[in-house]
Homo-oligomer: A and B are copies of this chain.
Amino acid sequence: MRLSRYFMPILKENPKEAEIVSHRLMLRTGMIRQQSQGIYSWLPLGKRVLDKVNKIIREEQNRSGAIELLMPTLQSADLWQESGRYDDYGKEMLRIKDRQDRPMLYGPTNEEMITDIFRSYVKSYKDLPLNLYHIQLKFRDEIRPRFGTMRSREFLMKDAYSFDLTREDAIHSYNKMFVAYLRTFDRLGLRAIPMRADTGPIGGNHSHEFIILADTGESEVFCHKSFVDFDIPSVDTDFDDVAGLQSIFDKWTSVYAATSEMHDEAAFGTIAEGDRLSARGIEVGHIFYFGTKYSEPMGAKVQGPDGKEHVVHMGSYGIGPTRLVPAIIEASHDENGIIWPASVAPFDAVVINMKAGDAACDAACEKIYAALTKAGKDTLYDDTDDRAGTKFATADLIGVPAQVIAGPRSVANGEIELKDRKTGARETMTIEAAINKLVG
């Protein structure tokens, strides 16, 4: 992408309304724009990151056996009356009347709708287990939306729903998501800690939040330090291995970790003082097993091997991509801007032409830009006539991992400088060496 043709409206000043660093940097870099209170546009730079986050989430959901569909944002109130949640949900639910005066709502979550889909088609235990997910907009009319897309009203959620014949099978489905989540957050460059959690309006009795530690987190969390060293399940994990997944779950829940709602000061006190971690955290995922809470009132049943009807056991599993993006920034930035993990960086590399219009600089930059693009690297080419200092600052601010700096003096020697955003290390090398290193 040539910057001269791109739309990346960098703000010169830090926006005053932003209280936390991720919100400030997302506004400053032109990743997002507020359209109404708690409602945001994702501008091109932000959209690129969001797409990469979604892609990783999808890959790990699919790997675990979950199947993607797409439910609508607007739902009929009828479904929610069936489950009994229509009245319970309160003012966070955006209620709407259509032109026929029918009561509708903008879905804050999809347990009811997916249960309706399930009961319409699935009749036999032979079609189980089943886990269906989508990545779709939700609306929750928070009284105090804040921190940009960290707590917005219209937001994106990956929500998966599992259906099983028995509680035992449902726990295996739960463990699949537990492992998929560990892998997902790890690939996003985050160390997320699963913590026993309160189930809130979703209901159920077996639930974990995945929390990353950050000073700006809304939750107070307590855990054992050893989490930092736990191994992430490998890409070859067999999701059909019931005992194998259970052992991963057991390992990751073997030491103390809880949010403040579930905190047990006495249990925490038994940990050696040096191993206690009391901190603030950001919730980036939440999984629930809730048995027959929805399947029972909504009549989601299958015929079992015994020929009888059984109410299915369900779980639901959420990740908020539009919250993950700021969470990643909270976890990875410095005074110059964002430091993207390579997996979600909006661009893999930026080619900085220090003297656009200079024939040698232009030729060198075009060559590198073409080679990287051809190799499938998302490359930003700063071909503008801004001053070199502005270009360096922008490249650091938007956090592109690899920066290729081409100035007249080095280019005259067939060389460029390669800078690593994270470490700040600079290395002079030939153009060919730089291409080989980045394409590698």
A binding-site residues for B, Cβ under 8 Å: 5-7, 9, 30, 33, 35-37, 39-44, 46-47, 50, 65, 67-76, 91-92, 94, 96, 98-100, 102, 104, 106, 113, 116-117, 120-122, 127, 130, 132, 137, 139, 141, 143, 153-154
Contact = CB atoms under 8 A, between A and B. Distances in A.
A184 to B, nearest CB: 20
A76 B36 contact: yes
A345 to B, nearest CB: 17
Nearest to A143: B99
Contact of A41 (B40, B72, B91, B153): B72
Given A9-B121, A94-B98, A99-B141, A42 B70 contact: yes
A117 B35 CA distance: 9
- A-B pairs, top 9 by smallest CB distance, nearest first, are A9-B121, A42-B70, A36-B76, A41-B71, A99-B141, A91-B99, A39-B72, A72-B154, A44-B67
B74 A47 contact: no
Nearest to A10: B121
A41 B187 CA distance: 30
A65 B35 contact: no
B94 A154 contact: no
A7 B130 contact: yes
Contacts of A130: 7
A154 B74 contact: yes
8 contacts: A7-B121, A36-B74, A42-B70, A43-B117, A47-B69, A50-B70, A74-B153, A99-B143
Contacts of A40: 72
A419 to B, nearest CB: 26
A132 B7 contact: yes
A419 B139 CA distance: 47
B113 A74 contact: no
Given A35-B71, A40-B72, A154-B74, A96 B94 contact: yes
Contacts of A9: 120-122
A396 to B, nearest CB: 21
Nearest to A62: B1
Given A76-B35, A132-B7, A69 B43 contact: yes
B67 A35 contact: no
A145 B106 CA distance: 19
Contacts of A36: 72, 74-76, 102, 104
Contacts of A68: 44, 47
A44 B69 contact: yes
Contacts of A69: 7, 41-44, 46-47
B42 A121 contact: no
Contacts of A44: 67-69, 132
A32 to B, nearest CB: 10
Nearest to A98: B141
Nearest to A322: B70
A47 B75 contact: no
A349 B411 CA distance: 50
Contacts of A139: 74
Contacts of A50: 70
Given A5-B65, A98-B141, A73 B154 contact: yes
Contacts of A104: 36
Contacts of A154: 72-74
Contact of A121 (B5, B30, B75, B153): B30
Contacts of A71: 35, 41-42
A93 B137 CA distance: 19
